Amino acid sequence: MKWNKGRGKLGTFAPLLGKWIANEGSAEEQKPECQRSFEYVLDNKFIKLEVLWKLKNKDYLDHTLIGLNEKKEICFWSFTSDGKNSHGVLTDVSDIHPEAIGFVAEMPAGTARQAYWPDEENGFFWVVESQTKKGWNRFVQQHFKLKK
């Protein structure tokens, strides 16, 4: 996948725009189907990320806005169907992949980060990691392809 970034601060996320799917049709509990949709909203001042996890007994939803905070830093604000929310700021995740883009957030259980980077052939990878004394511990990784 060509990882062409767009204009402006939010142009970093241009390669992610569109509708994506991982583990399509999966019934595996450890690898559930996940859909991600990225689009510009609010006069292109924000990117809206809609996430749908197709879990065994229910759907889990995440509504996220990506945009600039009052300090002009790229941030995300996430709200989930279990009533939780989180907030994070863009961070350097080039240790994962040279073209990776990601966020770091302070969560109730500690510091976490998520990152996206291109699959050279098709789509992109997404991970979530928690910070430990020894570094980063990856506990979720998915490969997304364009949704048909």
The whole-number pLDDT of residue 5 equals: 84
Could you report the per-residue pLDDT of 9-68, keeping only the tens digit for each? 999 999 999 999 999 989 888 899 999 999 999 999 999 999 999 998 899 999 999 999
In the chain, how many domains are there? Answer: 1
Top pLDDT among 130 and 5 is at 130
Long-range contact list for 96-104, CB < 8 A, 24+ apart? Answer: 96/127, 97/125, 99/3, 101/12, 101/13, 103/75, 103/76
Q: Does 125 fall in a domain? A: yes
Could you report the per-residue pLDDT of 54-97, keeping only the tens digit for each? 998 899 999 999 999 999 999 999 999 999 999 999 999 999 99
Q: Does 2 fall in a domain? A: no
Q: Domain of 56: which CATH number?
A: 2.40.128.20
The whole-number pLDDT of residue 51 equals: 97
The whole-number pLDDT of residue 29 equals: 82
Top pLDDT among 122 and 74 is at 74
Q: Does 1 fall in a domain? A: no
> Within a 10 A sphere around the Cβ of 112, how many other Cβ atoms?
19
Q: Does 4 fall in a domain? A: no
Does the predicted TM-score (pTM) go above 0.95? no
Compute the 3-state secondary structure of the chain and give helix, strand, coil in percent, each to the nearest 5: 5, 55, 40
Q: Does 21 fall in a domain? A: yes
Structural domain boundaries enclosing 117: 9-146
The whole-number pLDDT of residue 9 equals: 92
Q: Does 75 fall in a domain? A: yes
Top pLDDT among 1 and 45 is at 45
The whole-number pLDDT of residue 120 equals: 85
Residue 125's SS3 state is: strand
Taking the C-alpha atoms of residue 2 and residue 30, their distance in angstroms, rounded to an integer, is 29
